[in-house]
Amino acid sequence: MLLLAGLMAVTSPLQAEPGEEGYVFSVTVSTPQQLDVVLDRAEDLRELFDPEQHSRIAIVLHGDELQLFQKQNYSSNQSMVERARLLDEDNIIDIKACQTMMRVLEIGQHELPSFIEQVPFAPAEIERLQREEGFTRL
């Protein structure tokens, strides 16, 4: 739930400070309702800033929520998956999935939508975003 508190704390237009290239959220939620809160907040952010002028937001999924995006679960989670896809297409968020957790959950690489970028290990990706791209972890 720390993630949800962090998302709620971002209430004004995001203005990039020198060296701050974006924000990264580490997401591990268990229910569609919790993921909906994350997506709701991302939709709210669409109204607050233009991603071409301000910081980027990366959401790194590395928990049970990955199962919500599996193609076999698409019919029951269609509206949530489509919301995530639109937010990604509009460059509001960049969604990444941890392949290590995908293996633990027995999710094949072909089972997630193509708009979700797969990364080998979530903690390493979060660290890379911070170190190489100047992201701030929230």
Give the per-residue pLDDT at 74: 94
Ordered alpha helix ranges (H), 10-112:
32-48, 74-89, 99-104
Asked if the model's pLDDT at residue 113 lies above 90, the reply is yes
The CATH number given to 2-6+21-137 is 3.40.1260.10
Residue 124 forms beta bridges with which residues?
none
Work out the pLDDT band at 18, boundaries 50, 70, 90. Answer: very low
The set of long-range contacts for 49-53, using a CB threshold of 8 Å and a minimum separation of 24, is 49/13, 49/14, 49/15, 51/90, 51/91, 51/92, 52/91
Instruction: Read off the pTM.
Output: 0.80
Q: How confident is the model at residue 13 (pLDDT cuts 50, 70, 90)?
A: very low
The ranges assigned to domains in the chain are 2-6+21-137
More confident residue, 50 or 131: 131
Higher-confidence position of 65 and 20: 65
Residue 95's CB: how many other CB atoms inside 10 A?
Answer: 22
pLDDT of residue 16: 40
Spatial contact of 121 and 98, defined as CB atoms under 8 Å apart: yes
Percentage of the chain lying above the pLDDT 90 cut: 55
